[in-house]
Structures are given as structure tokens and as C-alpha cells.
Amino acid sequence: MSNLLKTSIPLFSLLITQLHAAGHMFNKNSPYLLGDWQGKRTELLNQGIKFDSNLMIDTAYLADGGYDSGHSPKYASQLLIGSTLDLEKLANLTGLSLRATITARQGQSLSSEDISDPTAPQIANVQANYGRGNSKSRLTEFSLEKNFKDYGLSIKLGRLGIGTDFNVMSCEFQNNSFCAAQMGKWQSGIWYNSPISQWGGRIKYQLQPELSAQIGVYEYNPKNALERHGWNLNTDQADGVTIPIEVMWQPRSFINGLAGTYRIGAMYNSADDLKNQKNIRTGKGENHTYGAWFNFDQQLTSMGSGKQGLHSFANFTFHNRNTNKVDHSQQIGLKYYGVFISHPEDNLGFGLNRIHLNDRFTEGKAQFNADAEYNVELNYSYNPAKWLMLHPSLQYIVHPGATKNKDNAWVFALGTKINF
């Protein structure tokens, strides 16, 4: 990979120089910093080739409380490079598409280094892009999807993240307790979201125009989660499978005649190796685990057109008390798009999350003198250009690590996203 990077960086720099010279960069009305490549990008899209790339940086500073405040801010970043090929346009293969995504993460975690008590586990992370640590480069997705439009059927196979299709939630907060599929946060030893991928497949069936159901089967291989195995494709250490099922209702007109998305689902995992699946009270091996969820995103008011107005969201998860440290979590919040008419895509967000530790895990451990950790975030997403998002936030963590041994933490944060 080092030789590839050494070759790619100069070429990428040359491309930027040429585009800048041509005057096509930094147009605030373009969705891409690098512009439309003199029309070539749109031409390729019409032919069935879509490119996407972005850089996200989460910066966070512990202003007060926690384990060790007063240090320099910490940052965590993710670079994503991806492409989607419409094989119907490119090769006349009806309903077929190919998706490939590579990500690279690096940085430091404020939650693990400055907020969490070393005697208690870190639970949530104030920087969502450090959710799986310094994972370096990873093959995050390589999938083939076939849509049978006449039958309302979709089949996807390949290297996938479970949260890409199941328990899906948007990621418009910096604290990871409000970002993406929550099953991948609180049952994270079993359920792998992006940037981790695993071999798997998903079948989705459109029962009615607003109602669908889906089921997936994914390899469970703890090797995939290791930082040094981002490109692991073998199944040497596979231990059973993870099977999620989900029903999704997407009413076009519900509360106040506005659209929403509602999901309810459950998952079963068949891992039976002691090092992967054990009873958290006795330490004896278990041969399965399970979990369930319910989440929704509902627009409540409308101002103008599109998504402008007030939106509500919530996510509730439930976990097997025999095997999981977290037995349930609750997340609720509000988002308002278009606070200022001149910036309809900007949004103001507020979220509250509670993560409850399983008493079978905490019994006999004096450090766990609080039942749960609470995370609160207030943020604003500002888009000075269509390709740039700035995301300042104030976070408050109550009982970090579900312990009262350390003060509640105040965190100032800034998220940045650049679409290339």
C-alpha cells in the first residue's frame, strides 16, 4: 500500500493543480470541491459511472470534567473514496449495479484518552470517526446489487457493513451515540458497521409501496475488526453468522401529512467459540446471542419545500443479557432544517442518549456505581458551500463509563466534511 500511496499522492496533487488552473475548483454552488471536471464528471455519471470522495474530521476538546481535562484538542479523520457502476447503462445488464468503497481512518480519541475512567470501559465516543479506532485503510464495501423492479425484489451480495442496510440512521451528530446503526455501537463485538466489512448478502422485498421487509446473512469473523486486517478477505477465523431481519414502513404522508421512516428488527448470531461468545456472569461459553431495535425519523413541520422544518428521530435497542455488557439503550432527538431561509440545508440538532449497562456485567464491580451513561449534544450544521460542511457542537456526558467516580464532561467539538 505504501508504494501505491507514494504514486497516488503526486498524481492527486497534479490533478488538483490542473483543475485549479482551469478555474473549476472552490465553486460554492458545486457539490464537489474539485468541480465537474469540465463536464466530464456529469458525462461519466450519465454513462453509469459515479465517483464520490470525502474527508471528515472530528475535532474535540474536553473543557471540564472527565478523567483528565485541560489537554490539547484531539482529532479523528476519515477519508472515503468510492465508485458506483450502473451496469445497466454500461453493459445492458438490467437492474445490476456494482459499488466499491475504500476508507482510511486515523487520529486520537478524546473519549478513551481524557474522558473515560481507566477502571471503567469507554462506552460512547464524542468523535464518531474514531468508532473503530485507527483502522488505517479498509475495503469498506465491494458489493453487487440486482434489482428485479417488476417483482419489488432486491438482492445484494459481497463485502458489506450490516448497518448500511439494517437499523439505518443518519449521521448528523458528532457523538457516535447519535450516529448510524446503534446496534453496531452497543452490540459491537458481533455487529460490524462500516468502515468494517464482512462477506454477506441481503434480500429485500417491497410488500407494498410504503412497506418492505428484508433479511440478511453475514459472516461473523472477529478478524475483520482488527486494525491490521482492513483488507482481510479470507474466512479462516469465521465463527458462525449474523442474521438480521427488519420491516420498514415509509409513509409518504403521516404526521401533519409529512413523510417518515420507521424500522423494527431483530438479529441472531450463532458464534459459539468461547473467545467470541461467553456468558458475562459465569464466563462459560454460549452458542448464540440476539438483539432487537426500533427506530424512526419523522418530519413534523414543513417550511417551504423539501425537508425544511422540524424533524424528530429516535432509536431503541435491546440486547441479550447473558452475553452483552449493554442490555438496552434509548436515543431521542430533534433536527430543524432551514433555520435561516438563506441556508435551507443547514440544520440545528439536539439529541439525548441513555446507554444502560447490564447488571449481570456490573455486579460485584464497585466502579460501576451508576447504572447508565448519558450523552447530550447540541449542534449546528453550516454549509458555506455545497461541498463544505462545518459542524460545531457542545456535548455533555453524564457518568462517563457508567461511573460516578469522575465528573460529568463538557466537550466542545467541531466536525468538518469536504466533498471532493
- The string of DSSP codes covering 7-70 is HHHHHHHHHHHHHHHTT-S--TTSSSTTTTTTTHHHHHHHHTEEEEEEEEEEEEEEEEEESS-S
- Quick one: which H or E segment has residue 90? helix 87-91
* 316 vs 296: CA distance, rounded Å: 9
Residue 248 has pLDDT above 50, yes or no: yes
Q: String of b and e for 286-315 (b: at least 16 CB within 10 Å)?
A: beebbbbbebbbbbbebeeeebbbbbebbb
CB 225 within 8 A of CB 198: no
Read off the pLDDT band of 150 (50, 70, 90).
very high
Query: Computed over its alpha carbons, how large is the radius of gyration of the chain?
Result: 22
Residue-wise pLDDT tens digits, 20-66: 544 467 898 899 999 999 899 999 999 999 999 999 999 999 999 99
Residue type, 177: S
Read off the pLDDT band of 365 (50, 70, 90).
confident
Does one domain contain both 20 and 62? no
Read off the pLDDT band of 68 (50, 70, 90).
confident
Residue-wise pLDDT tens digits, 115-131: 988 888 789 999 999 87
Does one domain contain both 331 and 410? yes
Does one domain contain both 252 and 307? yes
pLDDT number for residue 6: 43
pLDDT number for residue 274: 92
Mean pLDDT, range 374-379, rounded to an integer: 98
Average pLDDT score, the chain: 91
* 231 vs 224: CA distance, rounded Å: 8
Does one domain contain both 158 and 78? yes
DSSP three-state, residue 190: coil
Residue 209 phi/psi, 5° resolution? -55, -30
Does one domain contain both 280 and 410? yes
Does one domain contain both 41 and 26? no
Into how many domains does the chain fold?
2
Residue-wise pLDDT tens digits, 24-33: 678 988 999 9
This prediction's pTM:
0.90
Percentage of the chain modeled with pLDDT above 70: 94
Percentage of the chain modeled with pLDDT above 90: 79
* 211 vs 134: CA distance, rounded Å: 39
Does one domain contain both 82 and 228? yes
Where residue 309 sits, what CATH number does that domain have?
A: 2.40.160.180
pLDDT number for residue 11: 46
Of 100 and 370, the one with more pLDDT = 100
Residue 255 Ramachandran class (φ > 0 left, ψ -120 to 50 alpha, else beta) = beta
pLDDT number for residue 166: 98
pLDDT number for residue 323: 96
Of 132 and 404, the one with more pLDDT = 404
DSSP three-state, residue 172: coil
DSSP three-state, residue 109: coil
Domain residues for the domain of 324 are 37-419
DSSP three-state, residue 213: strand
Does one domain contain both 6 and 43? no
